[in-house]
A and B are shown apart, each in its own frame.
Chain A
Amino acid sequence: PLWALRKGPSMVLKAFFPTCCASADSGLLVGRWVPEQSSAVVLAVVHFPFIPIQVKELLAQVQQASRVGVAVLGTWCHCQQKPEESLGRFLEGLGAVFPHDPWLQLCRERGSKFWSCKATHRQVPAAPGAASEDQVMLIFYDQRKVLLSQLHPPAALPDHQAGDASASTGGLAAIFDTVARSESLFRSDRFDEGPVRLSHWQSEGVEASILVELAKRASGPVCLLLACLLSLVSAASACRVFKLWPLSFLGSKLSTCEQLRHRLEQLTLIFSTQKATDPTELMRKANMLVSVLLDVALGLVLLSWLHRKNRLGQLADALVPVADHVAEQLQHLLQWLMGAPAGLKMNRALDQVLGRFFLYHIHLWISYIHLMSPFIERILWHVGLSACLGLTVALSILWDIIALLTFHIYCFYVYGARLYCLKVYGLSSLWRLFRGKKWNVLRQRVDSCSYDLDQLFIGTLLFTILVFLLPTTALYYLVFTLLRLLVVAVQGLIHLLVDMVNSLPLYSLGLRLCRPYRLAGKWCAGRPARVGPSALGLPGVGSLNAGRGRRH
């Protein structure tokens, strides 16, 4: 009731004005009028002199290219002192040439902080005595940031809300959308030779750098060349030889082959000649490229570190003694197990058998290592060279080397586990016999069964034997499982590092730190719109202070 007494249409007219045009010369305001929110989004300023026909042509072109309803919204006056009457009438007269309702008139004195904003309606309002002018709210926005920020469309809302949704989730999203889609308007500039001279964010200096432009030109042929090379390599690796049994088995077990394959796939994707279709794909490609580059850089650092002060030679010299030392420690461990470990009483005979068996293995292993020792340095040198391909490849090779060097531990673990497994099966089956039951394979359940006396006798005998041999086998199993776990933990750490380098989205992280408005902002209907840092120039709403001066 209180507000119905106010004069004029009740909704305030919002004008979104780009900050870059605040210092532009006088001219026409060009942009889009959004009637649902009674807001005018100013995209650019057309300077005098101009021919109205050409302006209309340009706007029609832009409208066709971008499907944004661009029109002349009003006039912009930026002059030395208070505008004279004739200029004022000229500007109003322009309203007749470019019919638009409401007609916006913004005026600013050079060097002053005061703005004057006026919006007039052409149509005669129905109620007599009501003024035909609106209150204008001027909102500054940073055109560059709004243009470059990308918003996800809101998630599909349930059907019955579809009608309301488009109106309510419009709002600021519509403003962003308008600016982002009218890229074709920003192609021509006031410094161009064309018939119409525009001022917008590109007038402050077209954003480009020589390197980026050169890179863009060069990327086409380079991509083509690399794509050809990579296809050759993938064809070679897909040939029949590698599918045969020994090589395919090795290929699946070695982590280096895995990593190389992964990298090959990634490189093929990056250098494919198709352009990325949507921003997520572009982001993925960029992340992959950055991770490959980082990988290679770290690999080269590692290589330079290895070759300095002949560290590679030192490593090679240290490798055989280390392997010897490990084998010696294992021998000590087995001697300890063969004695009375931790005060436990072991079965003497079984203990000796197992211990001697494993000791022989270690002896074999040491002889193999000693056989290989002259070639170690050469092999390591070649391996170090592979660090050129990337840190991940070097780490994968390290993983493989550890796997090969601790192969005997793996073997011991397998033997211990098998033995223990057999024992446990035997025990469980004989335990069932002890109780007079049997495992029914057909029915997959335990059934009662009547055994003969001799079966029972032998079964019980075997059962007792196995029970008393249990601690020995269990202990061996435990010790070797723990050793194996240790090795697996180290390998797991290396794998973790490799995965981290492979999959960390460094490009997105860097973009988030340096240009947050570039990243797709999450626009979920229902969450408070965390629209990028002053993307709307809303701290610039504080510059409403300046516009406060004169309002008609």
Chain B
Amino acid sequence: MEEERKFSDICGGRLALQRRYYSPSCREFCLSCPRLSLRSLTAVTCTVWLAAYGLFTLCENSMILSAAIFITLLGLLGYLHFVKIDQETLLIIDSLGIQMTSSYASGKETTTFIEMNKVKDVVINEAIYMQKVIYYLCILLKDPVEPHEISQVVPVFQSSKPRLDCLIEVYRSCQEILAHEKATSRSP
């Protein structure tokens, strides 16, 4: 079953959280970030071209204008391919593991997969950044040598940065699955 709700991120942008419950042991959370706004794109393009025109009036070399167009295009492509993340997905499967997928605006997808036996817990941490207190969801990984110690903290939803209310939803579902997994691994 699928559900969609609207949340907002820490900067005030609109986020859409889609929850899919495939089964009691498998859930998926999909956060869609706000798209590239036409306003910011126009602003950046205008600044770059104004700067190029200024240089052109100084140097009288028309190569500057073509170079500016080139740079804008390449910059936009690079931004869409390497920087702008459209959607972040978290897939938890009980006995298998946790998978995080980021899909970029150009269609590129990067996935990270963490096996379930390496996951210690999923928690919400708070971080103080300049004048803000930010909450973020993170996965704690076990240390192979010391099973009770934490070797790494992997933050989730790093680009979409949802607020606490959204995180609490995801956190609850994750905890249900982790509890289920612990129960099944303990029972014979």
Contact = CB atoms under 8 A, between A and B. Distances in A.
Nearest to B103: A539
A135 B23 contact: yes
Interface string A155-180: 00110010001001101100000000
Contact of B141 (A12, A168, A528, A534): A528
Contact of B115 (A11, A171, A534): A171
Given A37-B95, A539-B101, A137 B114 contact: no
Nearest to A4: B187
Contact of A525 (B26, B111, B144): B144
Contacts of A161: 144-145
A11 B188 CA distance: 9
Contacts of B154: 528
A538 B26 contact: no
A531 B95 CA distance: 17
A538 B113 contact: yes
A526 B141 contact: yes
B99 interface: yes
B113 A38 contact: no
A382 interface: no
A516 B36 CA distance: 31
Contact of A3 (B22, B142, B184): B184
Interface residues of B, number: 34
A52 interface: no
Interface residues of A, number: 37
Contacts of B152: 526-528
Contacts of B142: 526
A533 B111 contact: yes
Given A161-B144, A539-B111, A544-B22, A10 B184 contact: yes
A541 B115 contact: no
Interface of B: 22-23, 25-26, 28, 91, 93-97, 99, 101, 109-115, 117-118, 141-145, 151-152, 154, 180, 183-184, 187
Pairs of residues from A and B, 7 with the lowest C-beta to C-beta distance, nearest first: A526-B144, A525-B144, A10-B184, A528-B114, A3-B183, A168-B117, A171-B115
29 contacts: A2-B183, A4-B187, A12-B95, A14-B96, A38-B95, A137-B96, A157-B144, A158-B145, A161-B145, A169-B144, A526-B118, A526-B144, A526-B145, A527-B152, A528-B113, A528-B141, A529-B113, A529-B114, A538-B99, A538-B113, A539-B101, A539-B109, A539-B111, A541-B93, A541-B96, A542-B91, A544-B26, A545-B22, A548-B22
